[in-house]
Chains A and B, each alone.
Chain A
Amino acid sequence: MSGLVLALPVAVPLLAAGVLVACPGGRRAQRLITSAVSAGILVLSAVLLAGSLDGTVRGLSMGGWPPGFAIVFAADALSTLMLCVSAALVLASLAFAAGTGDDASPWFAPLAMILSAGVYGAFLTADLFNLFVFVEVMLVPSYALLTMSGGRARTAAGRIYLTFSLLASTLLLAGVGLVYGVTGTVNLGELAGAARQSTAAALAVGVVLLALAAKAAVVPLHGWLPRTYPEAPPAVTVLFSGLLTKVGVYGLLRVYAVVHEGTGLRWPVMAAALLTMVVGVLGAVGERGMRSILTFHMVSQIGYILLGLALFTRAGLTAAVFFLVQYVLVKAALLMCAGAVETAYGTDRTDSLARREPLIAAAFLVSALSLAGLPPLSGFVAKLGLVDAAATESDHLAVGVAVGVSFLTLVSMVKIWAGSFWGGEDPSREESLLRLMARATVRPALAVPALVLTVPSVVLGIAAQPLLTAAAEAAGGLLDASAYVRAVTR
């Protein structure tokens, strides 16, 4: 198989988006095309992942230009793992959007395809400027998806989101310019270790890292996320949650590992990680809606991944990659539960749902316990790995914070469960209950995607070994980037 297949995850969704715009067809045709494309990319990335598990890194220099001028793509274990989980998430969100009716607009399908192309490109590129371009390719459709359906709250949220994202993008572009000015290259392979050799390069890359941290909603650059995600249409929130901030996190992992070689910024990254965990989880305490609580937890979970990056040991990075992969699926399942309830009942602040909606309640319970990190679910394996790695480094503060934040996460999840799912009907909310009674229940089409996404959190909890092996391979690629560097400078 030639390296050219690496271009497919970007090219095919973009072509599909073009076809969908040029010949609109019916909703059925749109769903067929988008799911076929996403399923194809899922299969392709699984094949690529299997091929990269032995440490081979596949590289591609577009158009035969020498590296440094060519658009360079590279697929190692981390890239293909992210590609795999993103394609799965896009597929699930498309199914969920079909259930909620968010794909009623003829623009939804093409925009989702362009967004996914940008995400896949960002995971595959090995060039800082192309990273900026793919981040933009991903963000431009996201602006439209957020505000597409109109409404005052959504336009206001769109404004905050747009302003903040644009500011971060401008910062990223300026950072890329500085890197080029200092080092004369934006190829990640040629930049390997640059930050250790020159302070000027470290500062320039620091600007890039700062911009990526803003995209990943790392505290104190997180304010935009909890204000905007809960306002988006339910299916769009699911799509965003699994893709947008994860590109920022992936960028942080990759750039910090290759350019800084994991040293030099240990304390700032550790401080950001711990702050992000604590601020995110405490922010959620003050929220009442299901989706607002869940989006604040997104901030807190980013902190866990950064903790692994700050430790920069094999165990820490393995746990961080494992955490990232399982968390994308768990969070999507939770947001689907909240979105399904909101679509069916018109609000996500309901009560006594467990009796009415056993399927949604079961999906929510399993995913919530996994998010909090209870055995035998996947969140437990991930958090145990991180806490163990921090303990090995005798970082007792990090151990304490990670465990404490898990407890608070559990409290938040119990709050949602007790408020929305458990117990009898609250007599003080008679009016809202009358409205609930009159409405239809959650249709199976809405519940099935959430249920399907809870399967991995159980399977990955009980049989964690295959994903742990892949995560360890990805962590090895981050610890020793020489194979990656060879593939992108050759």
Chain B
Amino acid sequence: MTAAIAVGVLTAGGFFLLLRPGLVRVTFGFVLLGHAANVLLLAAGGPERREPPLIGDGDPAGMADPLPQAFVLTAIVITFGITVYLLGLARAEHLAGSGSRSGTGPEGPAESAEPPR
């Protein structure tokens, strides 16, 4: 139940940020969504079994399922790489002069640098 609520709150927050103008906010939205997916993956392994999954080190019935943990590890690495790329893109947009104004942000619609086609 805790995991379900955590996934719900993270997803709601993530989507809220995704719908905001500005690529940096979108980036944080994806960080939250990534966490939501990771919590979901961990919950998929059965949250009640928490012993370290090491052979000869405790009761096999209480051992955590290592496969979702491996999934999450992979997913975290991917999310991290994407976050860095998103921040790079936000910087490129900023340098190109559009910043957060490519939508209809508080500063109003961006002026078009190119003639309309």
When the two chains form their complex, are residues B68 and A156 in contact, meaning their CB atoms are under 8 A apart?
Answer: no
| Separation of A173 and B75 alpha carbons in the complex (Å) | 8
Interface residues on B, range: 20 to 34
When the two chains form their complex, are residues B92 and A177 in contact, meaning their CB atoms are under 8 A apart?
Answer: no
Chain A residues with CB under 8 Å of B33's CB are 167, 170
Mask: chain B, 8-35; 1 = CB below 8 Å from A; 0 = not: 0000000000100001001000100110
When the two chains form their complex, are residues B75 and A162 in contact, meaning their CB atoms are under 8 A apart?
Answer: no
Q: Does B82 sit within 8 A of A, measured CB to CB?
A: yes
Partner of B102, one of A159, A176, A181: A159
When the two chains form their complex, are residues A140 and B82 in contact, meaning their CB atoms are under 8 A apart?
Answer: yes
A residues 165-213 with Cβ under 8 Å of B? 166-167, 170, 173-174, 176-178, 180-181
When the two chains form their complex, are residues A152 and B98 in contact, meaning their CB atoms are under 8 A apart?
Answer: yes
A residues 309-344 with Cβ under 8 Å of B? none
When the two chains form their complex, are residues A150 and B92 in contact, meaning their CB atoms are under 8 A apart?
Answer: yes
Q: Does A163 sit within 8 A of B, measured CB to CB?
A: yes
Given A152-B114, A173-B41, A143 and B85 contact (CB-CB distance below 8 Å) = yes
Mask: chain B, 85-98; 1 = CB below 8 Å from A; 0 = not: 11001001100111
With both beta carbons as reference points, the residue of chain B lying nearest to A289 in the complex is identified as: B117
Chain A residues with CB under 8 Å of B117's CB are 288-289, 349
Given A129-B71, A156-B102, A181-B44, A163 and B26 contact (CB-CB distance below 8 Å) = yes
Q: Does A147 sit within 8 A of B, measured CB to CB?
A: yes
Q: Does B74 sit within 8 A of A, measured CB to CB?
A: yes
Q: Does A69 sit within 8 A of B, measured CB to CB?
A: yes
| Separation of A158 and B90 alpha carbons in the complex (Å) | 11
With both beta carbons as reference points, the residue of chain A lying nearest to B102 in the complex is identified as: A156
When the two chains form their complex, are residues A177 and B82 in contact, meaning their CB atoms are under 8 A apart?
Answer: no
When the two chains form their complex, are residues A170 and B34 in contact, meaning their CB atoms are under 8 A apart?
Answer: yes
B residues 33-86 with Cβ under 8 Å of A? 33-34, 36-37, 40-41, 43-45, 67-68, 71, 74-75, 78, 81-82, 85-86
Partner of B92, one of A140, A155, A178: A155
When the two chains form their complex, are residues A176 and B71 in contact, meaning their CB atoms are under 8 A apart?
Answer: yes
Given A167-B18, A174-B36, A174-B40, A140 and B89 contact (CB-CB distance below 8 Å) = no
Q: Does A153 sit within 8 A of B, measured CB to CB?
A: yes
Given A147-B89, A156-B102, A180 and B96 contact (CB-CB distance below 8 Å) = no
When the two chains form their complex, are residues A174 and B98 in contact, meaning their CB atoms are under 8 A apart?
Answer: no
Q: Does A436 sit within 8 A of B, measured CB to CB?
A: no
| Separation of A143 and B85 alpha carbons in the complex (Å) | 9
Q: Does B113 sit within 8 A of A, measured CB to CB?
A: yes
| Separation of A156 and B18 alpha carbons in the complex (Å) | 15
With both beta carbons as reference points, the residue of chain B lying nearest to A204 in the complex is identified as: B44
Partner of B37, one of A151, A158, A177, A180: A177
When the two chains form their complex, are residues A180 and B18 in contact, meaning their CB atoms are under 8 A apart?
Answer: no
Partner of A163, one of B18, B78, B93, B113: B18
A230 CB, nearest partner CB in chain B, Å: 10
When the two chains form their complex, are residues B43 and A140 in contact, meaning their CB atoms are under 8 A apart?
Answer: no
| Separation of A489 and B33 alpha carbons in the complex (Å) | 33
Q: Does A282 sit within 8 A of B, measured CB to CB?
A: no
When the two chains form their complex, are residues A155 and B98 in contact, meaning their CB atoms are under 8 A apart?
Answer: yes
| Separation of A153 and B81 alpha carbons in the complex (Å) | 24
Partner of B44, one of A150, A163, A178: A178
- Known A-B contacts: A140-B78, A180-B45. Give 5 more (CB < 8 A): A140-B82, A147-B92, A159-B23, A163-B26, A176-B71
5 pairs across A/B with beta carbons < 8 Å? A152-B97, A158-B89, A174-B36, A177-B68, A180-B41
Chain B residues proximal to chain A, CB less than 8 Å: 18, 23, 26, 30, 33-34, 36-37, 40-41, 43-45, 67-68, 71, 74-75, 78, 81-82, 85-86, 89, 92-93, 96-98, 102, 113-114, 117
**Complex A-B, nearest 4 residue pairs according to Cβ-Cβ distance, in ascending order:** A181-B44, A177-B41, A177-B40, A180-B44
